[in-house]
Structure 1
Amino acid sequence: MTDVEKADAPATAALIDLAVDSWKFARLFTRVISKLDAGEQARYANQMRFFQKRIDSAAEAAGARIVTIEGQPFEPGMAASPLNLEDFGDGDALLVDQMLEPIVMGNDGVLRTGTMMLRKL
């Protein structure tokens, strides 16, 4: 690792933390604005999308991207830890119901694993 890469590592880690927190905030914000009237919803949703695109662009410039796997069939070995796996039997067909924390992928693989909740298909 070069000196530049070593110096950039804390900044990249901070940017990834910011991107993950932004992803969580966007999900909460979306639930909150759903309670507003349609005109206000659209305005605030557009502002949130703009902000999220800026965060995603900055993360991509640092070699990271946020990934969610909601709605996909669960497979052992996914880059996210299920919190409720013990609630199901061995033969149950499972689906990723909700991501609580996203997966962060880098150019060379997983930078940070996510956290998810499962449900039966």
Structure 2
Amino acid sequence: MLMMNDWHPDVLEFITVKQNMGLITNANLSVCISNDFMKAVKEDLEWEFKFPDTTDPEYDEIWDGNMEKWVELGKPVRVYKTIRARDMWHTIIESAWKSAEPGVVFMEYYNQMSNSWYFNPIICTNPCGKVA
């Protein structure tokens, strides 16, 4: 199971990679969809592809994959590209129609509904475990 967050700079390539036979095999792909992304889709807003600034002296020590935590610490973020959120949503839909992938996982919602959110957040799921 391979998963990528909706804000990751490589997510557009990740969404469509299964349309090219043989590039990734024997793996299920899903995009981790945030509440903010769905709000941007609904309101037809822009969406940023971003990643922590890896030149930050504490990057290797602090970065754990949690963008919200990184930003709350006041750490720098580099924006790589901005597009309409609906364009990305339509790309997900079209790719799922063409290649049956990616799936979507409403990871932020999963954690809001989980009784372990405060000590052990959910960061991924097993293949076919994305129905919620």
TM-score (norm 2): 0.29
Whose helix proportion is higher, 1 or 2? 1
In our comparison, the structure showing a higher alpha carbon Rg is 1
Indicate the structure whose relative CO is greater, using CA pairs within 8 Å and at least 6 residues apart: 2
Whose strand proportion is higher, 1 or 2? 1
